[in-house]
Amino acid sequence: MIWDVVVVGAGNAAMSAALSAREAGASVLVLERAPEEARGGNSAYTGGAFRVAYDGADDIASIADVSEHELATSDFGSYPEAQFLNDLAEMSGYRADPELLYRLVGESRDALLWLREQGVRFLPSYGRQSFRVDGRAVFWGGLTIESAGGGQGLMDALFVRAEERGIEIRYRHNIVRLLQDRGSVSGVVARTPDGEREIAARSVVLAAGGFHANAEWRTRYLGPGWEAAKVRGSRYNTGGGIRAAIDAGAMSHGNWSGCHSVFFDARAEPFGVPGVLNQQKNYFGLGIVVNTHGERFFDEGSDFRNYIYSLMGARILKQPGGYGWQIFDAEAVALLPDEYRTPRAAKLQADTIDALIARLQGVDGPQLKATIEAYNAACDPAVTFNPAIKDGKATRGLATSKSNWANPIVTPPFTAFEVTCGITCTFAGVAIDDAASVRGEDGLPMPGLYACGEMVGGLYYERYPGGAGLTSGTVFGRVAGTAAAAHAATFAPI
């Protein structure tokens, strides 16, 4: 059989491509490297947050399930396209591909409305993206919506829809190379439990993720020490799709030495575990972070966590031993979201600072006590604390300042969370145009080959705005699936 469209991968981008191709009338086969019980790619391990341009509460209500009470007691603000575009551009150091950014931003809201049509439910992200100020839930950081049930809920809905649409999914199919015929991609070779198989197709969409789970590639491209990083998500994203595309003549592209990595629970497993997802520790702005020398090593309040959290894994990995602690007092702990309340968290607590320090193994205790005392003395009580804005409540006179949310650590009990590096995804892969066609080494589209999701290079450099990845996966997944189906339709029926 010759399939119209073969989709490689089974995360959000892949399933968006598969469903879009099927809507366009194509026969679609999805090939997933993972076993069925681990399907869903990196998307299944996310919190399900989507960054989307919107003008106000009415736009949010058109996408998410919002009650009249929630509308009356919430300040959703707005996140216009110009701001979304500027965030993406500025956080890439203005190196991201402009044509990709414009399409991502311009189609972000339509993409979420389309996902609703596929059965995905959305909710306002109250637990992680709002603080209650003067009796109202105030959203902050441009990230307002999440899929019901998080990333797993998103993927469950898409798999249900794929089954309803008659899309076949084959598991334990690892793509090792692409087939080409007369200058066009004509299928894939997959390693399966029954040996290698050639699968013919009129077009192929690659959506197999980056190389974050490949320790050798991490060390080669990201640098020494990255083999020690914990993998937040799928263990199956090892760069196979990127390798197959480049071997077939695709242009490599993007920030090969960059990645999305976060503060991660020190007790977490080496790879992501389905059902045990909330192991990030991203609300460091409410406290301080120290290394084993007992010293702070960055400005915890430099920006909203959505804009700097993806840098934190790299920063902690560079510290002695590759780990440290986030320290909070009781008032700050009361503001922390559920990711800090998982039963397996590396959490230590005591009624005094001295007792807490005594429980931290490997830390320079006297220096840590001096660090906390100096930090507390540098906090300005005259400035009002407001976690929903950059409040300017900064320290004064410290070599390493804290620019916002600098409350002293004085209210017992005191809590420390031990953290290390958790890598989410890599930033490099293959080059595509804004129609999701993979570019060859000559810069021209490779006929019959499309890509989307985390294996696309050129969107992110240095930093990553939270929630952009799922939105990008849906936008370019839809584009890729539609284009792949159109290319397949140009072939004469057999």
Instruction: Encode pLDDT of 147-159 as tens digits.
Output: 999 999 999 999 9
Residues 111 and 48 in one domain: yes
Residue 20, domain CATH: 3.50.50.60
In the predicted model, what is the mean pLDDT of the chain? 96
Task: Determine the pLDDT at residue 112.
Answer: 98
- Give the span between the Cα atoms of 462 and 257, in whole angstroms: 9
Q: Which of 397, 421, 445 is the last residue of a domain?
A: 421
Residues 391 and 293 in one domain: yes
Task: Determine the pLDDT at residue 354.
Answer: 98
Question: Strand 195-206 relative to strand 184-192: parallel, antiparallel, unpaired?
Answer: antiparallel
Largest CA distance in the chain: 78
> Is it the case that residue 202 has pLDDT exceeding 70?
yes
Q: Is residue 249 part of a domain?
A: no
Residues 336 and 365 in one domain: yes
Q: Is residue 221 part of a domain?
A: no
Domain that holds residue 283: 261-421
What digits encode the pLDDT tens for the residues 376-385? 999 999 999 9
Question: Strand 74-75 relative to strand 136-139: parallel, antiparallel, unpaired?
Answer: parallel
- How much is the average pLDDT of 83-90? 96
342 — pLDDT class (breaks 50, 70, 90): confident
Residues 384 and 399 in one domain: yes
Residues 416 and 434 in one domain: no
Task: Determine the pLDDT at residue 208.
Answer: 98
Task: Determine the pLDDT at residue 249.
Answer: 97
Task: Determine the pLDDT at residue 3.
Answer: 98
Q: Is residue 292 part of a domain?
A: yes
Residues 384 and 297 in one domain: yes
218: DSSP letter: I
- Listed range (124-128, 160-164, 368-372, 383-387) with the worst mean pLDDT: 124-128
Strands (E), 119-278: 122-124, 130-133, 136-139, 145-147, 168-170, 174-181, 184-192, 195-206, 230-231, 252-265
Residues 401 and 431 in one domain: no
Task: Determine the pLDDT at residue 492.
Answer: 66
- The number of C-alpha atoms within 13 Å of 442 and in the hemisphere containing its C-beta is 5
Task: Determine the pLDDT at residue 277.
Answer: 66
Q: Is residue 133 part of a domain?
A: yes
Task: Determine the pLDDT at residue 493.
Answer: 66
Q: Is residue 225 part of a domain?
A: no
pTM here? 0.95
| Whether 308 contacts 462, CB under 8 Å | no
134 burial (CB, 10 Å; 0-12 / 13-18 / 19+) is: exposed
140 — pLDDT class (breaks 50, 70, 90): confident
Q: Is residue 244 part of a domain?
A: no
Which ranges of 361-467 would DSSP assign to H, the alpha helix? 365-378
Residues 130 and 178 in one domain: yes
> Is it the case that residue 276 has pLDDT exceeding 80?
no
Residues 294 and 186 in one domain: no
Task: Determine the pLDDT at residue 343.
Answer: 78
> Is it the case that residue 324 has pLDDT exceeding 80?
yes
Q: What percent of the chain is modeled with pLDDT above 70?
A: 99
End-to-end alpha carbon distance in the chain: 10
- Give the span between the Cα atoms of 334 and 490, in whole angstroms: 59
Q: Which of 421, 446, 466 is the last residue of a domain?
A: 421
> Is it the case that residue 51 has pLDDT exceeding 60?
yes
Q: Which of 421, 439, 461 is the last residue of a domain?
A: 421
Residues 159 and 280 in one domain: no
- How much is the average pLDDT of 332-343? 90
Q: Is residue 297 part of a domain?
A: yes
**DSSP states of 293-304 as a string?**
TS-B-S-TTSS-
Residues 50 and 155 in one domain: yes
What digits encode the pLDDT tens for the residues 88-118? 999 999 999 999 999 999 999 999 999 999 9
What digits encode the pLDDT tens for the residues 249-274? 999 999 999 999 999 999 999 998 87
Number of domain units in the chain:
2
Residues 413 and 279 in one domain: yes
Q: Is residue 322 part of a domain?
A: yes
- How much is the average pLDDT of 423-429? 97
- How much is the average pLDDT of 391-405? 97
